[in-house]
Every structure is written in structure tokens, then in C-alpha cells.
């Protein structure tokens, strides 16, 4: 039952040696592609996020019954509450799909740096967030009669979503190990992501109110700093989070 030498040579030829960065990016892309292809078929995650987000803005619309001036002051808050809640649903589901069929073990068995899994999952979560945001924004504009097509606002939404997903993907990987993961994720996530949400709401509000850039910049800088910090922390600790 000894392994024959030709088989070993055969084995050696089976492993491709790319540059470390090339291999890293290839594996990240493979994970993101896999998530998007699976979601395109099932539409399980996106439809849940989207229905939830639309229901939240609809409920706010009827519950608040605000005049035009007040509406413009609450827009940023309502938008970010909607994105945060819908995002939590998506983050939970995205990791649950990996855990329930044991696929997370399949990913962890791959001979790649485990931060590859983090970045791959974060990219696909970010794409799902962007899709939901791209649908919510025009619906909100119509329902609340508010113009949201502002490049600055879109920039803030991108930055805020990156920070939210960066920390959310890490915490979802932790929460998914627990039986009470659905409850655990928001409890873990919201206190940690609060600085991102506050900065995103303040910056969005400033842009919608037409404030000077000098007044908005501190919030934008805070968003960028938190994005970088959260991504760096996740990169460093993900390996420990997913290992038993």
C-alpha cells in the first residue's frame, strides 16, 4: 500500500505556486464569487434584507407623519437604522449558510491564510449591502419626497457600509458558533459599530442639510479611521475567532 513515486510526482504537479499576493487575491475572489453565485440562485439572503429594509422605511413613514422640514432632519437617522437592521439580517444569514452545512470547515481546511475567508465574506456582504441600499434610496426618495441623489451622500453610505460590514463580518463569525447566534449578533455588533453609525448619520445629515464641508469633514475622517481600524483588527484576529 506504499504510495508509488509517480503518484508523488503527480501530486507535486498538482499544486500551483503563485506569488503570495496573487494567491491571496485569487482565493478572496473565489469566495466572493461563490457567495454571489449561490445567492443569485437562492435569493434567500437578498430578498430577506430587501423586504425587511422596505418594511422599516414604510413603517417609519406612517409612524412619524412628519412635515417636510422635519423629514429632512430625520432622513439620515431613518436611513442608517434601516441599513443597520437589514445588514444584521444579511450578516447573520451569510455566516449561517457556511455553518449549517459544515461549509465553514471546508473553507478552514483550505491551505490559505484564514484572513482570505474574512475578506471574501466581507466583500460579498458589502455587495449585498450595496444592492439593498441602491434599492432603498430611490424608494425612500419617493416615499419621503426627499432628494437623496447626492454624490457626497453616496460616498458617506459607501464608507459607512464598509465600516459596518468590516466589523459585522468578524462578529458574525464569532456569533455563528453559538446556538443563540440570531440574538447574539446584534447584541455584540451594535455597541461596537456605534462610532461608525454615529459618524455616518452625522455626515449624512450634514450633507442633506447643506452644511459646509469643514463641518462635515471631522465625521468623514472619523469614518475613514474607523474603517481602517476595524479592517486591520479583523485581519489580525480572524484566525483566532474561527478556530476551536
Chain centroid to CA 160: how far?
Answer: 10
Cβ 44 to another protein shortest distance, Å: 8
Q: CA 201, 127, 30: angle at the middle one, nearest 5?
A: 145
Q: Specify the 3-state DSSP secondary structure of 127.
A: helix
- Among 26, 134, 211, 228, indicate the residue that binds another protein (CB under 8 A): 26
Cβ 29 to another protein shortest distance, Å: 8
- Among 50, 56, 89, 107, indicate the residue that binds another protein (CB under 8 A): 107
First-residue to last-residue Cα distance in the chain: 34
Q: Please choose, out of 3-11, 81-89, 170-178, 185-193, the segment that lies near another protein by the rule CB under 8 A.
A: 3-11
CA–CA distance, 40 with 29 (Å, rounded to integer) = 16
- Among 51, 110, 178, 183, indicate the residue that binds another protein (CB under 8 A): 110
In our burial notation (b when 16+ CB lie closer than 10 A, e otherwise), range 92-127 reads: bbbbbbbbeeeebeebeeeebbbbbbbbbbbbbbbb
- Verify binding: residue 111, another protein, rule CB under 8 A: yes
Q: Please choose, out of 75-83, 98-106, 184-192, 213-221, the segment that lies near another protein by the rule CB under 8 A.
A: 98-106
- Verify binding: residue 243, another protein, rule CB under 8 A: yes
- Among 55, 59, 105, 236, indicate the residue that binds another protein (CB under 8 A): 105
Q: Specify the 3-state DSSP secondary structure of 75.
A: helix
Helix ranges restricted to H, 65-146: 68-100, 103-108, 115-144
- Verify binding: residue 112, another protein, rule CB under 8 A: yes
- Among 51, 103, 194, 228, indicate the residue that binds another protein (CB under 8 A): 103
- What letter does residue 210 receive in the DSSP assignment? T
User: For binding to another protein (CB under 8 A), which residues are involved?
Assistant: 1-4, 7-8, 10-11, 13-18, 23, 26-27, 30-31, 33-34, 37-39, 41-42, 97, 101-103, 105-113, 243-244
Amino acid at each position: 500500500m506504499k504510495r508509488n513515486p509517480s503518484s508523488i510526482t503527480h501530486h507535486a504537479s498538482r499544486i500551483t505556486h503563485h506569488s503570495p499576493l496573487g494567491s491571496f487575491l485569487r482565493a478572496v475572489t473565489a469566495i466572493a464569487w461563490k457567495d454571489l453565485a449561490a445567492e443569485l440562485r437562492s435569493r434567500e439572503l437578498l430578498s430577506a434584507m430587501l423586504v425587511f429594509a422596505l418594511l422599516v422605511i414604510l413603517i417609519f413613514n406612517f409612524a412619524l407623519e412628519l412635515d417636510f422640514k422635519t423629514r429632512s432632519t430625520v432622513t439620515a437617522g431613518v436611513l442608517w437604522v434601516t441599513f443597520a437592521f437589514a445588514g444584521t439580517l444579511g450578516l447573520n444569514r451569510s455566516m449561517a449558510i457556511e455553518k449549517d452545512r459544515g461549509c465553514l470547515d471546508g473553507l478552514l481546511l483550505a491551505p490559505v491564510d484564514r484572513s482570505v475567508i474574512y475578506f471574501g465574506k466581507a466583500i460579498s456582504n458589502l455587495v449585498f449591502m450595496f444592492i439593498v441600499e441602491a434599492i432603498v434610496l430611490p424608494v425612500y426618495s419617493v416615499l419621503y419626497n426627499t432628494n437623496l441623489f447626492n454624490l457626497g451622500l453616496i460616498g458617506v453610505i459607501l464608507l459607512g457600509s464598509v465600516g459596518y460590514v468590516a466589523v459585522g463580518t468578524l462578529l458574525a463569525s464569532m456569533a455563528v458558533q453559538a446556538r443563540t447566534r440570531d440574538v447574539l449578533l446584534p447584541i455584540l455588533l451594535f455597541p461596537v459599530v456605534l462610532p461608525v453609525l454615529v459618524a455616518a448619520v452625522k455626515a449624512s445629515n450634514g450633507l442633506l442639510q447643506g452644511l459646509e464641508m469643514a463641518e462635515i469633514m471631522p465625521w468623514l475622517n472619523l469614518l475613514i479611521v474607523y474603517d481602517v481600524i476595524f479592517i486591520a483588527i479583523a485581519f489580525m484576529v480572524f484566525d483566532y475567532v474561527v478556530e476551536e
